[in-house]
Amino acid sequence: QFTLEELPVLPLAETFALTAAYNADSFPDKVNLGQGVYRDEACRPWVLPSVRAAEEVLHNQNANHEYLPITGDKQFNDKARELMFSPKLAKNPNIRTVQTVAGTGANNLAALFCAHHIKPKNVFISDPTWDNHYLIWKTAGPEITQKLYPYYNASARSFDFDGMIAALEAGEENDVVVLHPCAHNPTGFDPSQEQWKKIAEVIGRKRLFVVFDSAYQGFASGDPDADAWAIRYFYSTFFGALSDSQTNPPTGMLVCQSFSKNFGLYGERIGALHLISPQSVAAEGAYTHLIRLIRAVISCPSLFGARVVNTILSDADLTAQWGEDVKTMALRIQGVRASLRAELEKINIKGDWSHIEQQIGMFSYTGLSKAQVERLKDVHHIYMLGNGRMSLSGLNESNVGYVARAIKDVVD
Ligand code: PMP
């Protein structure tokens, strides 16, 4: 028997709690390096010019507000799939796409689908990872054991390739492995193409089920095709036209796609989930089960974000503008990495800070301890995650010196 009052009070999820604490702080030079959101040079939210232009187009269309199909907006799904897999691969019938409530909704649907229909014994999740992965898999599949695969070598401040491979070697057929295709959150370290090939080989040989979580396509390198490389490699190797010659394909693959960061559509909650089956498998039934789960959770997805993305990706000029927009964001973050490192070295901070520039994507995994992060907040009004993850777009020319001096203060 259960009573309401027995439930303990839980803390708010860390990024949201940090934003609230930052907003409540009246210190004039406070700095927000918590939530993973892009900020412009003035540290303000940035509406992408391509998105503004699409809003204009949509405004003049006077569209209605009817329900979408359960699977979402077909044109949006087609464009999302082309962006993720390339127009050529996206034509293959063994990739089926549904619209989701952003990347979180895609991850949640993927986990629900696995829990209900794949029924793995274990799910392999990277250590560390986006903290919601743990919660999503715990709530969607409480009976699935979470196994953490090593990802980060703290002493070398690098990707722990050997640790990851050794952990995956212990996987059992149909176990799920969750992978970040680019701009790993929070570490900012991605496998090289050679390392991805080895990871794929192990996953295929062990006959695992793959879930890719793509939240930063285009945002990492500035080139959406380059950032999709790992996903396209897995697809072509295991599930593409040649897959019949493959003796060891994974048992299936799901790809979660978020448009929050790369289109700056955070609050619009737009994403997609792609279900990929081996060519030899008739997966129509699996697709209908995915649809049934969507029906239970959201009935059907929402309109606006799908319309914005579809408007951009259906128009050559707007697509070109969007290409410029993602480059703008990626380049600014790369510039911020260089200037933070330069500021730290200028003031002779102890230790090696080259990892800031070696990492890629929205974050720097600084290596600062929980106590140092606490001190940054309490003494210097600088807000970042307790694991030392810093969201770099909160830095600009005017505050990077202040932040560097504060870091030196807590490190020395
Ligand atoms: N996956 C990863 C790895 C992320 O970093 C994020 C955003 N922080 C998401 C998924 C989901 O983002 P959203 O639901 O806002 O699209």
Joined tokens for residue 406:
């504060």
107 C-alpha vs ligand 1 centroid, how far in Å? 9
| Nearest CA residue ID for atom 4, ligand 1 | 215
Q: Which pLDDT belongs to residue 241?
A: 66
The DSSP line for 88-154 is HHHT-TTEEEEEEEHHHHHHHHHHHHIIIII--SEEEEEES--THHHHHHHHH-TTSEEEEEE-EET
- Hey, which bits of 234-361 come out as E strands? 252-258, 270-276
pLDDT digits 0-9 by tens, 4-38: 888 899 999 999 999 999 999 999 999 999 999 99
| Ligand 1 atom at shortest distance from the alpha carbon of 184 | 3
Condensed to tens digits (0 to 9), the pLDDT of residues 297-333 reads 999 999 999 999 999 999 999 999 999 999 999 999 9
Confidence of residue 253 (pLDDT cuts 50, 70, 90): very high
Residue 292 has pLDDT above 90, yes or no: yes
Residue count (the chain): 412
| Sequence letter at residue 27 | F
Average pLDDT over residues 235-244: 77
3-state helix, strand, coil in the chain (%, to 5): 50, 15, 35
Tens-digit pLDDT profile for residues 355-412: 999 999 999 999 999 999 999 999 999 999 999 999 999 999 999 999 999 999 999 8
Residue 266 has pLDDT above 90, yes or no: yes
Give catalytic residue positions.
130, 213, 261
**pTM, entire model:** 0.96
User: Is the predicted pLDDT of residue 289 greater than 90, yes or no?
Assistant: yes
